[in-house]
Amino acid sequence: MKTFGYLIAFFLFTSCLWAQTDTLFVYETRTPLLVDRSDNELLYLRIHSKEKGDTFNQLKLQIGEEIRLSDIKAIKLYYAGTDAPERKKNSSFVAASYIPTREADLSYSVVKEKTKPKSHDLILTANQKLFPGTNYFWISVEMKPTASLLSLLKIQLSEATVNDRLVVLQKTFSDVEHRMGVGVRYPGDDGSVAYRIPGLVTTKKGTLLGVYDVRYKHSGDLQADVNIGLSRSTDKGQTWEKMRIIMDQGEYGGLPEAQNGIGDPSILVDEETGTIWTVAAWTHGMGTGRAWTNSLQGMAPEETAQLMLTKSVDDGKSWSPLINITAQVKDPSWHFLLQGPGRGITMSDGTLVFPIQFIDKDRIPNAGIMYSKDKGKNWKLHNAARSNTTEAQVCEVEPGVLMLNMRDNRGGSRAVSITRDLGQTWEEHPSSRKALREPVCMASLIKVDAADNVLGKKILLFSNPDATNGRYNMTIKASLDGGLTWPYQLLLDAEESWGYSCLSMVDKETVGILYESSQTHMVFQRIRLTDLIK
């Protein structure tokens, strides 16, 4: 999960430094600090010992004034042991990687000191005998669960001593702002191996609703034992209620649950009525192979994936039986029709819109939209926006004008198209395949009207892994010119992850993001617009 960060370009350092006990290499993380987690990695340390009997004595840290010390429960120093001699030229900062959970795995690390900071200057004592060769340490912070998600932590390692002498510090980064987050879903929660594919909305009552795949047996896609789960927060994402399962086909038709999976949710709030809709794809009768290739032409569940809806009229507390709308929108020649995961929108005239994707008769994927003019009773679908595209998100940039931002299998950048007639015709947007880079991944796009944000500006917000060669650097971007340029950016998580995300305004001052993080499967963070757009 952290291979990018820990294999970062330390080949820049000369080979002679590897043999020096008087040089401490420091890697500062750029990942969210989860307030519900007892260990959050801040600094990784590596030092090479040539002589038996070398002792790592202590470290001096400065904690920035941005954070209230009362919000910090503990700062911890761990010794993570050594590495194989043949890897002495490796630039890794850990002896072993493992899936992050709520606590450090103490089979990999030894606690050397744990303290509650009483001032912004802090000394951590190790007095650790070094193993001949490469030695690893790391510094962790445990926040209080009540620490505001809007708070920031800065930390500086100012000096370290080995054999009671100061050592040289070689740092990767400085002045990193560590932002808070919440681990909404961890691997193993409620007996599920993995959680994937986030969708996020804010209801008319201000409640945050997060939906996602509950992938019980493995992290892979349909077909599998997968249900749609929902997490609900009434305090702007600080805490989340117990997970609800809102879409589950059980053992339909006598087939096992692993052959009745339902996944890749997209969620929508009807801004006029307050009704909340979730759409997902149900796969049945195709064994346990990958639905993307095993879903066939036709209309029946035994032939092809089914498009299923559920709705809530009580702010997400309870949900209706599933509604099958496949016959309303699918062309029988298509092999697969499903939603664009994430979220849908309510247009200014009350039309409900979900992004969709389908595999056509020639097995080429296409992205588009479906819409309802009668509050979700009937749905229609016209034409694709662009071929060889899949997971898309939609927003209304002007009254009646929809922008579709698409995952493009050509790679490198996002495709963007505009429709003025609900998808009957499309035109390429000037920013298409130019403005937003991507590693071929899902992304999120929302529009915020000037009246709905503290800056009083019409804003487009976008999130994805900001890279082309891998899913890392989860970033929120902002555009003030209708998506032509994206000059405002904020990095949330630099390390590798599955990379899916979904945005929703929490209030006029802050935007929320639910995403697949390097730190756990579902992370929520809340960001001030003024931190993003300066």
CA–CA separation, 44 and 162 (whole Å): 16
Catalytic position from the list 391, 396, 438, 495: 391
Contacts of 377 (CB under 8 A, 6+ apart): none
DSSP state of 446: E
Whether the CB-CB separation of 524 and 182 falls below 8 Å is answered with yes
Alpha-carbon distances, residue 2 vs 220, 245, 338, 517 (angstroms): 20, 30, 32, 11
Contacts of 506 (CB under 8 A, 6+ apart): 202, 208, 236, 237, 512, 526
Whether the CB-CB separation of 237 and 244 falls below 8 Å is answered with no
Closest CA to 179 of 43, 61, 69, 42: 42
Q: Is 526 exposed, middle or buried (0-12, 13-18, 19+ CB in 10 A)?
A: buried
Element (H, E) at 57: strand 55-63
CA–CA separation, 77 and 58 (whole Å): 10
- Residue 113 annotated in active site: no
Whether the CB-CB separation of 465 and 441 falls below 8 Å is answered with yes
CA–CA separation, 96 and 260 (whole Å): 37
Terminal Cα distance for the chain, rounded:
32
DSSP characters for 97-116?
Answer: -----SS--TTT-EEEEEE-
The angle at the Cα of 346, spanning 514 to 462, to the nearest 5 degrees, equals 40
How many other β-carbons are positioned within 10 Å of the β-carbon of residue 72? 20
Using DSSP, state whether 33 is helix, strand or coil.
strand
Whether the CB-CB separation of 510 and 150 falls below 8 Å is answered with yes
Residue type, 131: F
CA–CA separation, 230 and 514 (whole Å): 12
Closest CA to 465 of 503, 486, 487, 436: 436
What positions carry a catalytic annotation? Answer: 391
